[in-house]
Amino acid sequence: MENQLKSALAAGQRQCGIWMSLTSPMVAEIVSDAGFDWILVDCEHAPNDLSSLRDQLQAMRGSASSILARPPWNDMVLIKQFMDAGVQNFIIPYIQNTDEARDAVAATRYPPEGVRGVAGGSRASNFGRNQAYLRESNDAVTVIVQVETMEAMADLEAIAQVPGVDGVFIGPADLSASMGHLGDIEHADVQKAIREAAERLAAVGVPSCTLAFDPAVGQRYIDYGYQMVCIGSDQSCLMGGLAKLHTTFMDKG
């Protein structure tokens, strides 16, 4: 099984992507052909469930973009269900320490490397038609763990180097809250922590990832050294396009 995201991260290639939270298969279909390196379906802070995730995966089938999902929690059962539905790439939220990082990795692997339950006829294996799936899946999954508190930041290098972790995602919003600057991602101390996280991850050779819904902020994070950056979302693109249209045609008096 080929995993272009996993290979790109390992090769040090920059990956720019789009976040999806509108839960719409039609939006997913439109985004899937837009040409971004990756697309993430958010099931933590968007009203997605397993069924809506599956519908969007179906809508994006054949896309040249790598497809990721973020489950609502670092939960073995949820991760198993996501994988059976066809998810190959994950951002796992709220990883606080190395034990939780190891749990996230184990949830994505069949025994003896992990604890994932075995289903012979899942969508992931093309309903059992892909006879190689069970033996190839362990090596073809991408696990990016999300670090988003000061507690986790203190253990950043150790979390990053847990075997099976392919990258570390720094969550700016929750990090700002953890630092006492709720809603103020642009605070100098928060930005300093975000910048230093990229430097610390580079020092141990682990890809750094983060998100911004403003392209200018996304470019700043790339300049900080982040390898994988969200540069917009389905929601931000819709709202931005509507605002621009309104300014052009409705604000002329």
CA–CA separation, 62 and 108 (whole Å): 23
Known catalytic residue at 181:
no
Q: What is the DSSP string of 148-193?
A: -SHHHHHTHHHHHTSTT--EEEE-HHHHHHHTT-TT-TTSHHHHHH
Burial class (CB within 10 angstroms; exposed 0-12, middle 13-18, buried 19+) of 73: middle
Report whether 118 contacts 65 (CB < 8 A). Answer: no
Question: What are the structure tokens assigned to 210, written together?
Answer: 């983060």
CA–CA separation, 184 and 14 (whole Å): 27
Which residues share a beta bridge with 38? Answer: 17, 66
All residues at 6 or more sequence positions from 76 whose CB lies less than 8 Å from its CB, including other chains:
103, 106, 107, 115, 116
Report whether 76 contacts 103 (CB < 8 A). Answer: yes
Closest CA to 83 of 7, 92, 96: 92
- Give catalytic residues, as residue numbers: 45
